[in-house]
Structure formats: C-alpha cells, structure tokens
Amino acid sequence: MPAASPVTRGVIHSRGYATAPGGGSNTLLYLLGAAAVAGGGYWYYSAGSASNVGKEAGTAAKSVAQAVKAATKFTPTKDDYQKVYNAIADILEDNDYDDGSYGPVLVRLAWHSSGTYDKNDGSGGSNYATMRFPSEATHGANAGLDVARAKIETVKEKFPWISYGDLWTLGGVAAIQEMQGPKIPWRPGRIDGYAKDATPDGRLPDASKVADHLRTIFYRMGFDDHAIVALSGAHALGRCHRNRSGFDGPWTFSPTTFTNDFFTLLMNDKWTWRKWDGPRQLQDKTKTLMMLPSDFALVQDKEFKKWVKVYAADQDKFFADFSLYFSELLELGVPRAQFVSSEPWIMKSTEEQSS
C-alpha cells in the first residue's frame, strides 16, 4: 500500500477524536464505561487463558453494577490517579524479570494499545483497550504483551474503577518517568469497548521492514517523519526475545534507563548483519547489542537520518520531542469529550513525591 501524504506539523492535533470537541467529566466517563461493560467489553484476556465466553456471561451483571456504582458514588480525582501511578511504579522493579524491570514491557503495552489508530476512519487507538480480546491480543506484533497485561492486572485489582485504556497508557507514562525519562502529559477518559472494536492485524510497525513501511504505518496514524524518529527512540528501553518476536537482544547497554543512547549507538557504532538462524538483525562490534532492520532504516533514509543526528547530539531535544509525540500517541482514538480535563496532567514521579 503506498504511503499516505505526510502531515506538516508532526501530528494533526484533532486527528484522534471520533466526535466533536466538547466538555468532559468523570461522571460521563463512568456512565460510558458502564455501557461498555454491559456489552461484554469488560473482561481481561491473556494469551493461553481459557475461554472467556462463559466468564463474560457469568459476571456481566456484577460488572455493570460496579460500574454504575462508580458512576454515581465515586468520581476519581487527580490524586486518585496519582495513587494508581504510584501502584504501577511499585511493581516495576523485579530482579527475576529481564533486566530487572517490567518498565520497558509496560511502555510497549501502552505503545501497542495506542498505535492501531487509523485517522481515515477513526478506528483503533487507546480508547477501547481492545487488546483484551483474543482477536487482537494474538497479533504477531503483540507477542509477549500477555506478560505486561498480567503484571499490570495486579494494579487493576486494587483500583477496579479505572478503565484498561487509562491503566495501560498510565502504565507507559509511569514506566518512562520512573526510568529517568521525560515527563509525559497524560489525562484519563478512555473507556473499555467491545470485541467488535478490535483492530485488524498489520497496523503496528513490522521490525523486519524499512522506510516505506514505517511511513505507511505512522502516516496512517497522522504522524510525520520527525515523529517517526522521535517515537523510535523508545528502543532505548528493553530487549527483543527470541520466543516472542524472533529477534534477540537489547538495543543499549542500559535497557532500563531512558536515554538518547539508541540514537548515539545507531549513529556512531559499526553495525553488521548477524549470522545466525534467526531473522535478519544487526549487531555491534561487541556482539552484545542489536538493531532491527526498521531501526537501521532510520540512518539509511536521509529524511529520517537528519533527526537521528539531532537526537544523538542533544538528549534534551529528544526528551522534549518524545514527550510531545508519545503523549499524543496515547490519546489517539479518544473522543475529546471523554477526557476529564481540558489539558493533560503531569503526574509526579515517586522521587518527586518523596522529596
């Protein structure tokens, strides 16, 4: 499919809204949530779980009652969402998982639950948390995210009033900020939808593809070349897993700290194609780090490369741009009227609260 025309200012700021702009409230949010629950959109799916059909039928009434109670008797404040943030921060560190943190996989969950948006028809995005359903959870690009969903479910159990869409995106915000990254403006307002709202496979970036594919994927969401490079900087975090994507290894030497290292390494190190029995990927001279074909495309394409150079030289600029674009990514597909605040909030890190 040919790439769409790029937008001119990073993103179209109204692109993520399915309805006309207007005022929003928490009461509206929970009334909408109750309606979604009544339609069977509430339940949580993870790969390998038993069929949820019976569970859906057996607990729908209880879930509706809880949602209605929330709508009529409980209106969460920013302080309540800060408590959710803090609970997420508390579960991030775990020496038995990967490099000692669930932070990177929670960023990936937030990214993938939002990056399905299509500006042409308004479908997809973070609003309905449709990765709860098998039809979307089993997409190849979402392999391994059952780990993230199961981990953050422990927070959902403590705060059952929060929607999955808000929980997953706030999880990404908390993870980035707690891993020394930039502040990410965020606000609640997403509701949990129906299985029918799940998006088709193929909307997320394919790591084996290069520049044309990246433009097709990101332009569909409303982003331009600048945003593509900025958002790719999330690869400073985490690693690939052979049993998930097929690729293997970390991008940087500090995979649990948010930095501009992805860009400095991509620009300055010598990268060669790895000789192995897995998919095509590159390795550095130490054979410790990896880059994906889609990463390497950022320095092969002259329009992408100019932003790689900027971010490799200036971490503050990268942080500022990533904050802008990631915040907008997390709001894709959410009608403006659903947001409980006219402007996004800045959540305090645990370090800020302790000091």
Domains in the chain, CATH or no CATH each: 81-203+329-354 (1.10.520.10), 211-325 (1.10.420.10)
- Which pLDDT tens digits describe the chain residue by residue (355 residues)? 333 333 333 443 333 433 333 334 454 454 444 444 433 333 344 334 434 433 433 333 334 434 544 555 789 999 999 999 999 999 999 999 999 999 999 999 999 999 999 999 999 999 999 999 999 999 999 999 999 999 999 999 999 999 999 999 999 999 999 999 999 999 999 999 999 999 999 999 999 999 999 999 999 999 999 999 999 999 999 999 999 999 999 999 999 999 999 999 999 999 999 999 999 999 999 999 999 999 999 999 999 999 999 999 999 999 999 999 999 999 999 999 999 999 999 999 999 999 8
CA distance 198 to 134: 9
Residue 112 designated active-site:
yes
Q: Is the separation of the CB atoms in 346 and 173 below 8 Å?
A: no
Give the list of residues 6+ apart from residue 148 with CB closer than 8 angstroms, or none.
Answer: 102, 105, 106, 108, 109, 171
Q: What is the pLDDT of residue 27?
A: 44
CA distance 213 to 53: 36
Q: What pTM, to 2 d.p., does this model score?
A: 0.83
Among candidates 253, 218, 214, 223, which has minimal Cα distance to 236?
253
Give Cα 310 to chain centroid, integer Å: 24
Catalytic residue among 43, 112, 161, 235: 112
Catalytic residue among 43, 168, 186, 251: 251
Q: What is the pLDDT of residue 43?
A: 38
Residue 241 designated active-site:
no
Q: What is the pLDDT of residue 41?
A: 38
Give the SS3 label for residue 244: coil
Q: What is the pLDDT of residue 355?
A: 86
Q: What is the pLDDT of residue 79?
A: 98
DSSP sequence for 149-178:
HHHHHHHHHH-TTS-HHHHHHHHHHHHHHH
